[in-house]
Amino acid sequence: MFYQEVDEEITLKLLVLTDSQALFQLTDQSRESLREWLGWVDNTKTVDDSRSFIEHTLQVYDDKKGLHAGIMYQHELAGIIGFNSFDWTNKIGKIGYWLATDFQGKGIMSRAVRSLIDYAFSELSLNRVEIRAAYENKKSRAIPERLGFMEEGLIRQAEWLYDHYVDHVVYGMLASEWEAQ
Question: Which pLDDT band, with edges at 50, 70 and 90, does 7 fall under?
Answer: very high
Q: Give the neighbor-by-neighbor strand order of the sheet with 10-14.
A: 3-5, 10-14, 67-73, 76-87, 92-99, 128-134, 164-174, 150-161
Query: What is the CATH code for 3-129?
Result: 3.40.630.30
Q: Given a cut of 90, is residue 1 above it in pLDDT?
A: no
Model pTM? 0.95
Ordered by start, the domain boundaries in the chain are 3-129
